[in-house]
Structure 1
Amino acid sequence: MSKRTPIRLTQGAARFNYRIAGLGFRDGHVLVHRAMHEPFWTVPGGRAEIGETSEETLKREMVEELGLEVTVLRLLWIVENFFHYEQRDWHELGLYYLMEIPAEFPFQPHEIIHRVEDGDNHLEFKWVPATRRP
């Protein structure tokens, strides 16, 4: 299969991004990740690619980042987000799914439980308390 192109548009200093992410829960916690150079955490996911469904994107991203296949359960939210990051104005459209993470993925609350290199990003993952499950 040929390399697909991520769905992202740049116009001057502004950028549009189409992001797919998943919320995975275990024992009252939700899985989050961050690039190690960033101070903030997000739910794991990534950019959709042209010709790929959003469910395929989430499954691919989790194989790349977690090293295993997740089950995509249902779409939770569609979020339009505007923010400034790394000297750019961003306009992001995000689809957020409920996903099931296989039991073999480690669970140790509040500790970094997984690290991976994803392209130029060094990612780390941890479980944090969730106040409620969608």
Structure 2
Amino acid sequence: MQEDQDIRYFVHPDERFNVRAVLIVTHAGQVLVTPRTQGGKQRFVVPGGAVKFGETGEAAARREALEELGLALATLNLTGLIEAFFTLNETAYHQLLMVYQSEVDQATFEQLANLDMSALDLPAGTTLVWQPAATVATGILPKALGQCLTPGTFHHLVDRRGTAIK
């Protein structure tokens, strides 16, 4: 949903540009994801959202963590910049995704496993589950995010995946 000051706009009626911050939240080899089905296959998306004008990517990631997960994350590691190109509902998208990773402790892992979803800024029906990183890497969207699941080397990736999920 478009909010005030989001860096999301239409270039043309059927072309949209977005700047997003996404969160890879991990614990003991697992990643927090929202499972989706696309073309009969299990896919995964991670928390995140639009960067606001004048906001840094890290500040946006921290804001999204608070809004979508109820978390004030102590550490965030920038693990990638992804240029994603895809089509959704006959609109062509060009997104810049700043990817941040945070490894959480056992208490936070358990808190995230038992979230009161009604208290968070997420679409109705959203589920968050922990999945093994190896499973997530093969089905994450955009696909390039699979290379940013653990901290370490910074990745600059281009993802021309075609059609996105709803």
TM-score (norm 1): 0.78
Displacement of 1:19 in angstroms is 0.8
In the superposition, relative to structure 1, how do residues 93 and 7 fare at CA in structure 2: closer, same or farther (>3 Å)?
same
Distance (whole Å) between structure 1 residues aligned to residue 109 and residue 78 of structure 2:
24
Q: Distance in 1 between matches of 2:105 and 2:17?
A: 32
- Tell me the number of residue pairs that the alignment of Structure 1 and Structure 2 aligns: 125
Q: Which residue in 1 is equivalent to 2:62?
A: 59
Structure 1 distance, partners of 2:27, 2:68, is 18
Q: Deviations over 1:10-43 (max 9, x none)?
A: 1211111101011111121011126xxx534212
- What's the counterpart of residue 51 of structure 2? 48
List gaps (5 residues or longer) in structure 1. Answer: none
The one-letter code matched in structure 2 to 1:133 is: T
CA distance in 1, matches of 2:109, 2:27: 10
1:118 is paired with a residue whose SS is coil
Deviation at 1:113, TM superposition (A): 4.7
- Please list every run of 5 or more consecutive structure 2 residues that lacks an aligned counterpart in the other structure: 38-42, 135-148, 152-166
| Alignment match, 2:82 | 79
Please provide the CA RMSD for this pair.
Answer: 2.5
- Match in the other structure for 2:6: 6
Q: Is the 8 A contact 1:33 1:126 kept in 2?
A: yes
Aligned residues with identical type, % of pairs: 32
> Which amino acid in 1 is paired with 2:30?
H
2:30 matched residue in structure 1: 29
Measured in 1, the distance between the counterparts of 2:51 and 2:106 equals 26
CA distance in 2, matches of 1:18, 1:90: 11
